[in-house]
Amino acid sequence: MTKLQMQERAIEEVKLAIKPFYQKRDITKEEYKEIVRKAVQKVCHSKSGEINPVKVAQLVKAYVDKYKHARKHKKEDSEQSQRTDPKNMQTST
């Protein structure tokens, strides 16, 4: 299997694994693109040289969980900073 064929197969497997998460709106379009890019790169550079659909699905799920967690905490941090930011506080004069 050539390098290009392996990459095409990896793309296929990653997209197949990530599709349900995207359809359920668990991730955004930008997150979808980033996860596909990172997962394909990781699969293609693996030492074993094989593309195991079960392992690819686990990798994609881990990335989705990571991005969901990061998005949730980013939102909480921005809300918290707005509450404590002196610029956002009302002054009674």
Residue 21 structural domain: 3-70
What pLDDT, on the 0 to 100 scale, is given for residue 16?
98
Express each pLDDT in 18-76 by its tens digit: 999 999 999 999 999 999 999 999 999 999 889 999 999 999 999 999 999 998 888 77
Q: What's the pLDDT score for residue 51?
A: 93
Q: What is the pLDDT of residue 71?
A: 86
Q: How far apart are CA 32 and CA 37, in angstroms?
A: 9
The answer to the question of residue 31 being in a domain is yes
The count of structural domains within the chain is: 1
Confidence of residue 79 (pLDDT cuts 50, 70, 90): confident
Whole-Å CA distances, 20 to 12, 33, 57: 14, 14, 11
Residue 78, in any domain of the structure: no
pLDDT, position 81: 73
Is residue 50 a part of any domain in this protein?
A: yes
**Residues 78-85: what's their mean pLDDT?**
71
pTM passes above 0.75? yes
Q: Classify the C-alpha dihedral 58-60-26-78 as positive or negative.
A: positive
